[in-house]
Amino acid sequence: MRRFFWFLVLLLAAPALAQDLTGHGGPVRAVLPLPDEQHIVSASFDHAVILWDARAGQARAVARWHRGSVNALALLPDGRIASAGEGGRIALWAPGLGAEPAQVLEGHTGQIAALAARGENLASAAWDGSARLWNLADGSAKILEGHRGNVNAVAFRADGTLVSAGFDGTIRLWAADGSNQIIAEAGLPLNALIALPDGGLAAGGVDGILRLIAANGAMREVEAGARPIVALSLDASGARLAVASLGGNVTIWGLEAARLLHTLEGPGLPVWSLAFAPDGRLLWTGGADRQVRRWNALSGRAIGPIAAPAAENLPSGLDAHGAQVFRACSACHALTPDAGPMAGPHLHGIFGRRMGTLPGYAYSERLARGDIIWDAATIGDLFTRGPDVVTPGTKMPVQRVDNADDLAALLRFLEQATR
What single string gives the DSSP state of each residue in 311-345? PP-PPTT--HHHHHHHTTTTTT--SSTTS---SS-
Task: Say if CB 31 and CB 273 are below 8 A apart.
Answer: yes
Mean pLDDT throughout 324-339? 79
* Span 328-352, average pLDDT: 80
pLDDT, residue 306, reads 83
Distance, in Å, from the CA atom of 388 to the CA atom of 402, rounded to the nearest integer, reads 15
Provide the 10 A C-beta neighbour count for residue 381: 14
Q: What pLDDT, on a 0 to 100 scale, did the predictor assign at position 20?
A: 39
What was the pLDDT predicted at 10? 33
- Going along the chain from its start, the domains and CATH numbers come out as 2-305 (2.130.10.10), 320-417 (1.10.760.10)
Burial 177-195 (b: 16+ CB within 10 A, else e): eeebeebbebeebbbbbbb
| 96 phi-psi bin (left φ>0, alpha ψ -120 to 50, beta other) | left
Residue 16 confidence (pLDDT): 32
Question: In whole angstroms, what is the distance from residue 95 CA to residue 103 CA?
Answer: 13
Q: Is the pLDDT of residue 330 over 50?
A: yes
Segment 148-166, tens digit of pLDDT: 999 999 999 989 999 999 9
Label the pairing between strands 240-245 and 201-205: unpaired
For residue range 213-245, what is the model confidence (pLDDT) as tens digits? 999 889 999 998 888 999 999 999 999 999 998
Residue 340's pLDDT band, with cuts at 50, 70 and 90, is: low
Nearest of 329, 358, 310 to residue 417 by alpha carbon: 329
pLDDT per position as a tens digit, 207-218: 999 999 999 889
Backbone CA torsion sign across 307, 309, 310, 311: negative
For residues 55 and 38, is the Cβ–Cβ distance under 8 A? yes
Return phi, psi of residue 225, to 5°. Answer: 165, 175
For the chain, give the number of residues: 419
pLDDT at 219: 93
More confident residue, 40 or 366: 40
Give strand pairing partners of 247: none
Rg of the chain over CA atoms, in angstroms? 21
Q: Average pLDDT, whole number, for the chain?
A: 86
6 falls in which pLDDT band (50, 70, 90)?
very low
User: Is-above-0.85 flag for pTM?
Assistant: no
* Sequence-ordered list of residues with C-beta below 8 angstroms from that of 113, at least 6 positions apart, any chain: 71, 72, 125, 126, 127, 150, 151, 152, 153
* Region 201-208 average pLDDT: 95
DSSP for 129-156 reads SEEEEEETTT--EEEEE--SS-EEEEEE
Percent residues over pLDDT 70 in the chain: 88
Residue 162: its pLDDT value, please? 98
Percent of the chain surpassing pLDDT 90? 59
Whole-number pLDDT of residue 365: 72
Sort 411 into a burial class: Cβ within 10 Å, 0-12 / 13-18 / 19+. Answer: buried
Residues 6+ apart with CB under 8 A from 56: none
Mean pLDDT value across residues 284-306: 89
Q: How far is CA 278 from CA 22, 169, 172, 184, in A?
A: 25, 30, 28, 29
Whole-number pLDDT of residue 17: 31
Distance from C-alpha of 245 to C-alpha of 206, rounded to nearest angstrom: 9
Instruction: Check residue 331 and give its pLDDT.
Output: 64
Q: Of 222, 216, 114, 131, give the one whose Cα is nearest residue 172.
A: 131
As a whole number of angstroms, the distance between CA 351 and CA 414 comes to 9
Q: Is residue 178 helix, strand or coil? A: coil
Bridge partner residues of 173 (DSSP): 163, 181
Which strands make up the sheet holding 180-185, listed edge to edge? 151-156, 162-166, 170-174, 180-185
The pLDDT of 121-150, averaged and rounded, is 96
Write out the H or E segment, with its range, that includes residue 243.
strand 240-245
The beta-carbon contacts of 386-394 under 8 Å, at least 24 apart in sequence, are 391/355, 391/366, 391/367, 392/366, 393/364, 393/365, 393/366, 394/364, 394/366, 394/367
Residue 308, pLDDT above cutoff 70? no
